[in-house]
A and B are shown apart, each in its own frame.
Chain A
Amino acid sequence: MSLAHEAPLSGWAEPFPGANYLRQTLAVAESDIRKLIHDPVELFTRMVQPVLWLLIFGQVFNRARAIPTGGISYLDFIAPGILAQSVLFGAIFYGISLIWERDLGIVQKFLVSPAPRSTLVLGRAISSTARSLCQMVFVYVIAALLHVQLRFGIFALAGVVAAVMLGSAIFSTFSLIVACLVKSRERFMGIGQVLTMPLFFASNAIYPLSLMPGWLRAVSRVNPLSYQVDALRTLMIMGGSSAFGIGHDFLMLLAAFAVVMAVATRLYPSIVT
C-alpha cells in the first residue's frame, strides 16, 4: 500500500506530513478518554488491588526478610512490581471493550472510515496508557505513605512514565489480539483470567529472577513484564538496580510493542467478520 492512499481523501491539506495520521490516532484515543472522564468509577475500583498487595503482602513479607532483594527493603523491592502488575491487570482486559463496541456497531463505524487500521490500534493503546498513568499516580501515593524510598528526579520520573506507558500499550494491544481471536465476551474473560496470573508470576515482579528455577527464568526472559519491572525497579526506587540494563529493558519493550502492533493491525478488521 503506497502512502498516497493514506493521504487525506476529502481534499483537506495536511499542515505537516503525518498530521492526518496523528489526528486520526488521537481521535480514537480521545473517544475512549472522554468516556472515562464522563464515568471515572473504573479508575477508583482499580485502586483496590495495589493497596492490598502493598499493604498486606508487601508489609508481611517485609518482616519475613525471606527474599533476597539486593540491599533494599522488600516493600521497596515489590513497589515497582505492584505498579507493573496494576498496569498489567488494567490493560489485559482492555480488549473486551473492542468486543463490546463490535456488538454495538461502533467498531464497524471506525472501520468504514478512511483512518488506517494502525491508527485504530495505536489510538486504543494510547487511551490505555492514559489509564495506566492514573494508576501510576495512585501507586506512588500509596508507596509514599508506606515510606517506600521513591526517586523523584525529573529523569527518573520521565523514565517511569515511559516504562508504564510502554507496558500498558503492550498488554492492551496484546489484549486486542486476544479479542480478535476469540471474538466473544465469555471466551475473552476466560482467557484473560488464564493469562493474567502466569504473566505476573513468570516475572520478577514479586521475587528476583535468581530465586526462579531455570525453566521459569527462561519464560520470564520472554515476558515483557520482566523488562518493565526491571526498568521500574531502577528508575522508581532509591538504590534499586537493574538485572538486564535499562537500555536493554526499553529495547525489549519497544520490540514487544512493535510485534503486538503489527499483529493487532493485521487482525483488527477480522473482529467484525
Chain B
Amino acid sequence: MENAPDATLNAIEVQSLTRRFGALVAVDHLNFSCASGATFGLLGPNGAGKSTLIKMLTTLLPPSEGTAKIAGYDLVQHPELVRGKIGYVSQMLSADGDLTGYENLLISAKLYGMPRAERARRIAQALEFMDLAHVSGKRVRQYSGGMIRRLEIAQSMLHRPAVLFMDEPSVGLDPSAKRSVWERIRELRREFGTTILMTTHDMEEADHLCEMVAVMHRGVLAALDTPAGLKAQVGAEATLDDVFIHFTGATISEGGELRDVARTRSTTQRLG
C-alpha cells in the first residue's frame, strides 16, 4: 500500500521543521527523533516555540518549511493519515464542560469512526481505568481538575493512537491530582506502548516521566539527552532546574508573553 507507514522508523522524525510568523521564526529548522514507545519531554521558557511545534506536529498549523513523520506518515503530504494515528491533550481544558464525561467520550469515539459495539466497550473501559465511572453522568463542569485531565487523556486514547501529544498535562493541578495523572500516563504506556511527546514546565514531571528531554530555546533545541545525561552535562549535583537555566539563560518563573501567561492562568483558574 502506497501510504503504509514504515514500522522500522521512529515514532516521530522531525526534519528541518520551520515555522515563521512574518519576520519571527518561531521554530527554526528543527531536527530530532523519538523512538517508538518512548516518552519525550520538551522543556523551554514560554515563547521558545514549544506550542508552535506541537501545533505543527498535530497538523493544526502547516509548517513554513520542512516536515515530520509521525508513526511513519508524512505530516505535510498526508495530514489526514497522521490525524488517525495521534491523540492530543491540549494545555487548555478542552473537555466540554457542558457535556457529561460519558458524552465527551461518546462524541470523540464517533469522530474517530468507532462502531457502536466497540464504542460502548472502550468507553466503559476508559471510564473504569480513569476512575470516572461514578461521575460519568455528571456534567464535566462539576469535575475536579484532576478528573478533567484524566477524562481528557481517556478521550485522546480511545482510538489507541500510536503517538500522544500532551501540552503541559499537569499545569494547575495539586500534587495529588498530578501524581494520579502521572500514574495513568505510565499505565497507558505500559498497556498500549504509546509514544508520548509532552511539553512541561514542571522539572519533576520531566524527571518522572521522560526518557528523553529536549530543551528548546528561541525556536531551536539547545540540548537533547536523557534527564541523567543532561544533568551530567551541567554538573555533578545538577537538577533539571539547573539544566533549564543553564541552557536557556532564563529562570523558570520568569514567564513569557502575555498570551501564554493568560492561558496558563485561565487553565489554572478553571481547575479551581
Which of A's residues lie within 8 Å of B, judged by CB?
A: 1, 4-6, 8-10, 12, 14, 20, 23-24, 26-28, 30-31, 34-35, 38-39, 101, 103-106, 108-116, 269, 272-273
Q: Assess the A108–B112 pair: CB atoms within 8 A.
A: no
Q: Which residues of B contact A31 (CB under 8 A)?
A: 96, 99, 103, 107
B90 to A, closest residue via Cβ: A105
Say if the beta carbon of B261 comes within 8 Å of chain A: no
Bound-state Cα–Cα, A116 to B59, Å: 13
List 29 A–B pairs whose Cβ atoms lie within 8 Å, in order of A's numbering: A6-B80, A8-B113, A9-B81, A9-B113, A12-B114, A14-B113, A24-B110, A28-B107, A28-B111, A31-B99, A31-B103, A31-B107, A34-B99, A35-B96, A38-B98, A104-B94, A105-B90, A105-B92, A108-B60, A108-B90, A110-B111, A112-B58, A112-B87, A113-B83, A113-B108, A113-B112, A115-B111, A273-B55, A273-B61
Bound-state Cα–Cα, A1 to B98, Å: 35
Contact partner, A112, options B88, B92, B103, B160, Cβ 8 Å: B88
Q: Assess the A114–B110 pair: CB atoms within 8 A.
A: no
A39 to B, closest residue via Cβ: B98
Say if the beta carbon of B139 comes within 8 Å of chain A: yes
Q: Which residues of B contact A5 (CB under 8 A)?
A: 3, 78, 80-81
Say if the beta carbon of B115 comes within 8 Å of chain A: yes
Q: Which residues of B contact A4 (CB under 8 A)?
A: 3
On whether A114 and B60 interact (CB within 8 A), knowing A26-B110, A39-B98, the answer reads: no
Q: Assess the A35–B98 pair: CB atoms within 8 A.
A: yes
Q: Assess the B80–A114 pair: CB atoms within 8 A.
A: yes
Range, interface on chain B: 35 or more
Q: Assess the A106–B94 pair: CB atoms within 8 A.
A: yes
Q: Assess the B114–A35 pair: CB atoms within 8 A.
A: no
Q: Assess the A30–B110 pair: CB atoms within 8 A.
A: yes
Q: Assess the B99–A114 pair: CB atoms within 8 A.
A: no
Given contacts A12-B115, A27-B107, 20 further A-B contacts (CB under 8 A): A5-B80, A9-B112, A10-B112, A10-B114, A12-B114, A24-B111, A27-B110, A34-B103, A38-B99, A38-B139, A104-B94, A105-B92, A105-B93, A108-B92, A109-B94, A112-B86, A113-B111, A114-B113, A272-B55, A272-B61
Bound-state Cα–Cα, A111 to B114, Å: 17
Q: Assess the A10–B84 pair: CB atoms within 8 A.
A: yes
Say if the beta carbon of B69 comes within 8 Å of chain A: no
Bound-state Cα–Cα, A179 to B254, Å: 34
